[in-house]
Structure formats: C-alpha cells, structure tokens
Amino acid sequence: MTEAPIFIGGLYKSGTTLLRMMLSQHPSIASGPETNWFDLNWEEIGQPSNRDYKGRLWNLRRDGNPMTQIEQLSKIYGFNKNRIKEITQMSSSREDFIDNFMSEYTKRLGKRRWLEKTPANILCLKKIFSKWPEAKVIHVYRDPKDIYASLKEEKIVNNVMEFVSLWSLFNDTPEKDKKCLKLSDTSLIEVHYEEIIFSTEIVMRKILDFIGEKWVDTVATFGGCEEDYHKVISVYGKASDTLDRLRNPLLKNRVGIWKKIITDDELDYMVKSVETNGLKKLFVKAESKYTL
C-alpha cells in the first residue's frame, strides 16, 4: 500500500491527460495511461475459477478487443503474466485490484504514491471515497464549447444533442455526489484547462499544495511525451488524437477553437438546453475567461 492516491477526472477533451502527464513529472507521483478500473468486470474475473486463470479470465472481452482488460493493462504498464495473476489472486474487488496494481507500479518506479486518470473517475466519487477516504480528487473543467468542438472535430459525438447529454452527465452527477458526500476542499479541487495553459505555475502550485507535495519546477513545464503514445500504439494498434497531440510541447492554440468549428445553431441549442436542464450556472462556471 502506498500513500493516499490521486484521481483526475473530467469530461473527455477537458485536459485531464495533459494534467496527468505534468503531475507524473513529480519525483513522488507515478501514473500511466487510463485504466478504466471501475469497468473491470470483477463479477466474472473475481470468481475463484477465474482468479487462478484456469477459467474465463483471459477470454473476457471489452468492446470487441481480443485482449482482456487486465491483459491490456499488463502490457501497457509492463507487468508479466505471472505477476498479474498474483495481483489478481490477492485482490477481492476491482478497487483492491487497481490499488495493488498501481501500488506495485509505483514502487517499481521508486515513487511514493500513484495517480490514476480516467475521465469517468469524476462519476465514481462514491466508489473512490468509500475505498480511499484520504484520496485526493482533481476535477478538470474546460470551456464546454471547446470540448464540443474537439469532440466534433474527432467525430467522437454525432451531434450537439448527444454532446449536451454527455456534458450534463459529467457535470450534474459529480455536483450531486459532492454534496451527498459533503466533500471539503481538502478532498476535491476544481481546476480549469485554460488555467493550466495560461497560468501554469500558479495552478500547479495550487494543485501540489492540495495534494500535499513539495514544489518542483518540472511540473510547470511540458515539452511533450512520446512514451504513452507508443505504449498505447503497441497494445491497441492506434492512439487517441490527444496522445498524438501531447507528443508536442504545451501550446495555447486549442483555446477558443469553437469559434471556427461550432455553428450558430449548435451554440444556440447548447446554451438553451443547459438552461432548460437547470445547469446554466455549471455551464457559466466552466466557460473560459481567456481569449486568444
């Protein structure tokens, strides 16, 4: 068991991967590509016949991929099959598994604590704080208009209606959970992608203070990261546009991209829909105060 873990979450294309890569440059923090730990099919994996790899564990499928989720993780994080088997056997739940898995990865890197970044972490606050009461959660926001522009650009959502539904889920759910769990500012912090881009050192100092780590200059610089891109390519045969883009140094040209990508009708629908759904305050809170 390592020190209290750190979780980063937020809607896709919000800057969660960028922040994870920057924090992983800290000498105490270990992280890697997203694990989707909450989607591990533990109800099947955890069966005694499967946990010793004599059953269906390695035949479980996710999204039609011929590799199991655990096999994918083992390849991306550099674990051999025998060690993954041992970690699976010692774990009684998906939370136990990711804790044991990430703790071992952390120790292997000679670091003290692990950080897991998967966008939907922000939908799993109850699971996180039930297992890790001392966890630190970072919720990353980005201007909704730029998020939609990025998703539209990469053909990840089909239309603005689909986006509004997705954005509402990723913002309304955590707001309700924060209130239900009575989370304080010592457990969860909110940061904006635009702050990371335009006020890098200020926001990174704020984050390190929140997670209780000493300041190091390396977290405020980002010269690009090739490693994760090639890891994901080697396992899946392709990588996201985000990982491809983050092979390059930090740039400001992704702020305000909506102005060239979103139509007036789409913007009008977006604004009216969030207001109808009672989420106008959240939408305004997430909008960027920065312009290029």
Q: Which CATH superfamily is domain 6-28+112-286 in?
A: P-loop containing nucleotide triphosphate hydrolases (3.40.50.300)
> Rounded mean pLDDT of 184-211?
97
234-260 confidence digits (pLDDT tens):
888 888 888 888 898 878 899 999 999
Q: Is the pTM of this model over 0.85?
A: yes
Instruction: Measure the CA angle with vertex 7, ends 227 and 1; round to 5°.
Output: 90
- Please report the pLDDT score of residue 231 as a whole number: 86
Better-predicted residue by pLDDT, 27 or 227: 27
120-168 confidence digits (pLDDT tens):
999 999 999 999 999 999 999 999 999 999 999 999 999 999 999 999 9
State phi, psi for 127 to the nearest 5 degrees.
-65, -45
- Are 29 and 111 in contact, with CB atoms under 8 Å apart? yes
- Please report the pLDDT score of residue 63 as a whole number: 47
Spatial distance between the Cα atoms of 8 and 285, rounded to a whole number of angstroms:
19
- Please report the pLDDT score of residue 234 as a whole number: 85
Beta-strand relationship, 136-141 and 113-117? unpaired
Spatial distance between the Cα atoms of 233 and 192, rounded to a whole number of angstroms:
29
Q: Rg (Cα) of the chain, in Å, rounded?
A: 19
Mean pLDDT estimate for the chain:
89
Better-predicted residue by pLDDT, 114 or 229: 114
Eight-class DSSP state of 5: P
Better-predicted residue by pLDDT, 220 or 61: 220
**Residue 114 reports pLDDT greater than 60:** yes
Quick one: pLDDT band at residue 2, thresholds 50, 70, 90? low
Spatial distance between the Cα atoms of 192 and 52, rounded to a whole number of angstroms:
44
- Please report the pLDDT score of residue 197 as a whole number: 95
55-64, 217-226, 273-282: least confident range = 55-64
- Please report the pLDDT score of residue 52 as a whole number: 44
Q: Which amino acid is at 146?
A: D
- Please report the pLDDT score of residue 46 as a whole number: 54
- Please report the pLDDT score of residue 68 as a whole number: 77
Spatial distance between the Cα atoms of 122 and 140, rounded to a whole number of angstroms:
9
How do the domains of the chain map onto residue ranges? Answer: 6-28+112-286
6-16 confidence digits (pLDDT tens):
999 999 999 99
**Residue 61 reports pLDDT greater than 50:** no
- Please report the pLDDT score of residue 60 as a whole number: 37
62: tokens are: 């996710």
- Are 118 and 36 in contact, with CB atoms under 8 Å apart? yes
